[in-house]
Chain A
Amino acid sequence: MVVSYKCPQCGAPMEFDPETGKLSCAYCGLITTIEALEADPQENVQFETVTEKPETVQNENGTFRVYRCPSCGAEMLTDSVTSATVCAFCGTPGLIQDQLTGEKRPTKIIPFALTRQQAVEEFRDWSKGVFLTPRNFTQASTLEKITGVYVPYWLHDYRTQIRLDAHCTRTNVVRHGDEETTYTQHFNVVRDMDVDYSRIPTDASEKMDDATMDLLEPYDYSDLKTFDMPYLSGYLAERFTYTAEEMEGRARNRARSFAEQTARGTISGYGSVSIVNQQINFRKTNEEYVLLPVWMLNYRFKDQNYLLAINGQTGKRVGTLPVDKGRANGVFIGLFAGLFVLLTLLGGLL
C-alpha cells in the first residue's frame, strides 16, 4: 500500500518542511501539523491505496517491487528495503506502508532540520574552502541532485564492566658525583569499573558505507521524536537491512573501544603502563530502531564515485571532496611561482 498525504485545501501532495517542522503544501502554501493531519484522516488527509500486493519485476539491476503512484498512476519501482520514495514522473511522495509497520516500524525519528537549499549551500561553502574541486562541482546542476534520505539506525544501550590489570612503573634518577642511580618503582594496578553507554548508533542499511555514516555523528538525540509516517513525505527512506542482533558485534566493538579508553584514562602518573590483563562484560540494556536524516550527494568524477553526505540535523559535512588533479597542479604551480617571485623581490633574502 502506498500512502500519500494530500493538501486538505487544494489536494496537492504535502511534504515535510524542516524549517517549520510541519507539513506544507508546495502549491497553496497551507501549513498543517502532523497531529492535525492524523487527527482526522478521513477529512483532512487522503490516503491512496493503489496496490494491496505489489507485483515484482526483475531486471539486470536486481528485483524490484512495482507500486503505482497514487497521484499520476505511473509505476514506482522500489527495492526490498525502500520505505519512502518520490514518483519519478510527478514528484508525488509515496510512503510504502508495509515497510513501516509492525517490526519494521521505527520507534523514533530525528526529522530533517536542514532544508534542501541549506544543504546545497553547505556543499558549496565546503567546496569553496578547498579550491581544488572540479569546476563543475559547485554548479547548480550537480548540487541539485542531492537527496534527503532517512537512514535506518539501531541505537544500542549497554552497561559495561571493564577490568584492567596493569604493570606500571615510575622512575627517578639520582646523581652522586659520577654515579647515576636509576630507581624504578613497580606497581600492581587494578581498575574495575562500570560504565554505561546510551544510544551508540550503528547504521543498519546495507547500502550505506559504515565509515561515512560513523563520521556523521554525533546526532543530537534531544530532537528524537516519536515516529510518524508524515515525517517521511518528500524524502527517501529505507528500512533496516540488518537486524539489531546482526549489528550487535559492531555496537559492542564501539562500546569496547570507548570503555577501554575510559578505563585507560584513569591510570595516570606513571612513566610506563603495560596492560597485563583486560576483561570486559556487556549487558544490553536497551535498543531502539530509529531513522536519522542525511543529505546525500553521489558525484561521479573521472570514473570514480564520491559519496558525500551532510548530517540532516546538524549540518556536519562528511566524505572526501573530489580533487581535480589538474586544478591541484595548477594551484601548486601558481603558488610556487608566486612565492618564488615574492621571495626574490623581498630583496633576494637568500
Chain B
Amino acid sequence: MKKRSLFRKNEAGRAAGLLRRLAAVTAILVLVMGLCAFDGMGQKVYDQAGLLTSSEQEQLQQAAVSAAYETSLDLIFVTTADAGGKSAMDYADDFYDDGDFGFEGDNGSGVLFLIDMDNREIYLSTAGNAIIEIDDDEVNAILDAAYDRIIEGDYYGTFTAALDGIRYYSTNAEHGENVTGEYDPEAEDYTIIDIEPEPAREPSFWEKIINPVGAGIRAIGAAIASFFATTIMKRRAKTRSTINYKTYQHGSVHMRVQQDILTHTTQVTRHIQRASSSGGGGGGHVSSHHMSSGGHSHGGGGRHF
C-alpha cells in the first residue's frame, strides 16, 4: 500500500521534477550564457556595401554564431563602400570597438573581417584572445585564402574562406608566444601584455672563464690591443718629417693666370629599381598588435585587392 501510494506520488512528482530540472538546466544555461556574455542572437554580419544576397547573409550569420561557440571568439563580418576617410585598419578596429563585440563582453575577444570596397582592401582585425591565438603568419594565411576569393569577385566565398581560416587557426596549437592577455569584465577591456623573451640562464663566473668562445674572444681582444700598443711604441721609435710645402715659401703666391671655365655639361639618366618586397620577420610565432583610436588593443593585417 505504502509502496503504491508512494509510486503514485512519484508519478505526479516525476513530471514536476522534470520541469524543475529543465528549469534548473535552463537557469544554469542562462547563467553560463550570461557569464560569458556572448550574445548568440546579435547581428554578426553587416553588409553595408550590399555585396551579399539575403540568403548568403543568413547562412553567414548562422555560421558565425556556431563558430563563435566553437572558438570562444565573437566573429563579425563587415562590408563597407565608404570607409569615411579611414584606413581599412582603423575602420575595422573602430567598428569592433564601437559595436559592443567580444565573446567575454564588451571589447572582449573576437575577430572582425572587413571587405573595404572604398580602400580596396580586405582586413582582419583581431581582439583579445584572438590576437594571441592567431599569430602574424596565420593572419597572412587567412588573408591568402580570402584574397584568392576576392579577386574573383566572390564576396561570400571570401567570408567563408576567412571564417574557415579563423576557425582553424584560432584553435590549432600554434599561437603568438610573445604576448599574453586577460579580460577584465569590470573595465570592459582586454589587456595585452608583451612577454619579454625568457632570458637564458646566466652562466656562472667559472663557466664564463672556461667558456672557450669567450676565452678565445678575450685572447683575440688582448692580442689586438697588445699588438697596437707595441706597434705604437715601435712607431714612436721613428721620426717623421715636420716640414711642409709652405716651410720654405717666401712671401705670398703671385697669381698670373687663374681661370675656371665651364666648357660643357654632360648628363646621364638611369632608372632606379625599387625593392619589390620587404623582407619577412624572423622565426618563431609572433603576434603583433597595436592600439586603436578607441584605446583598445588589436592585431591582424590586411591586403589590397
Chain A residues in the interface with B (C-beta under 8 A): 129-133, 157, 161, 163, 168, 175, 178-200, 214-215, 217-218, 255, 257-259, 261-262, 266, 316-323, 328, 331-332, 335-337, 339-340, 343-344, 347-348, 350
Contact = CB atoms under 8 A, between A and B. Distances in A.
Mostly helix, strand, loop or mixed at chain A's interface? mixed
Contact of A191 (B250, B257, B270): B257
Contacts of B240: 215
A195 B249 contact: yes
8 contacts: A132-B234, A182-B267, A183-B267, A184-B268, A185-B265, A192-B257, A348-B211, A350-B221
A131 B233 contact: yes
B245 A130 contact: no
Given A184-B265, A319-B238, A344-B218, 5 more contacts: A193-B254, A266-B255, A328-B234, A339-B226, A350-B221
A194 B218 contact: no
A262 B270 CA distance: 39
Contacts of A214: 241
A151 B109 CA distance: 96
Contacts of A335: 222, 225-226, 229-230
B265 A193 contact: no
Contacts, number: 178
Contacts of A179: 269-272
A157 B251 CA distance: 12
B205 A218 contact: no
Nearest to A309: B239
A182 B223 CA distance: 47
Contacts of B5: none
Contacts of A186: 262-266
A196 B255 contact: no
B3 interface: no
A130 B249 contact: no
Nearest to B267: A183
A350 B250 contact: no
A350 B211 CA distance: 9
Given A132-B237, A192-B256, A348-B205, A258 B248 contact: yes
Given A132-B230, A347-B205, A187 B261 contact: yes
Nearest to B225: A339
**Which has the most chain B C-beta neighbours within 10 Å: A185, A195, A262?**
A195
Interface of B: 205, 208-209, 211, 213-215, 217-219, 221-223, 225-227, 229-230, 233-234, 236-251, 253-272, 274
A257 B270 CA distance: 42
B245 A257 contact: yes
A197 B249 contact: yes
B245 A261 contact: yes
A343 B209 CA distance: 10
B305 to A, nearest CB: 25
A178 B219 CA distance: 50
A24 B234 CA distance: 40
Contacts of A339: 221-222, 225-226
Contacts of A181: 267-269
Given A193-B254, A258-B248, A348-B209, A317 B239 contact: yes
A262 B238 CA distance: 28
A348 B209 CA distance: 6
Contacts of A332: 226-227, 230
B237 A189 contact: no
B292 to A, nearest CB: 34
Contacts of A200: 248
B243 A217 contact: yes
Nearest to B259: A190
| Nearest 6 Cβ contacts at the A-B interface | A348-B208, A198-B250, A192-B257, A339-B222, A321-B237, A261-B245
Contact of A258 (B242, B249, B258, B271): B249
B258 A130 contact: no
A218 B243 CA distance: 6
B265 A183 contact: yes
Contacts of A133: 237
A317 B236 CA distance: 11
Nearest to B222: A339
Contact of A195 (B237, B253, B257, B258): B253
Nearest to B261: A188
Nearest to A333: B226
B218 A350 contact: yes
Contacts of B272: 175, 178-180
B275 to A, nearest CB: 12
A301 to B, nearest CB: 12
A350 B215 CA distance: 8
Nearest to B227: A332
Contacts of B223: 336
Given A187-B261, A317-B239, A194 B247 contact: no
Nearest to B257: A192
A143 B256 CA distance: 54
B249 A262 contact: yes
B249 A196 contact: yes
Given A131-B233, A191-B257, A340-B218, A157 B263 contact: no
A260 to B, nearest CB: 8
Contacts of B258: 190-193, 266
Contacts of B263: 186-188
Contacts of B233: 130-132, 328, 331
A188 B236 contact: no
Given A183-B265, A193-B256, A336 B245 contact: no
Contact of A193 (B205, B226, B253, B264): B253
Contacts of A168: 260
A188 B241 CA distance: 35
A161 B272 CA distance: 49
B221 to A, nearest CB: 6
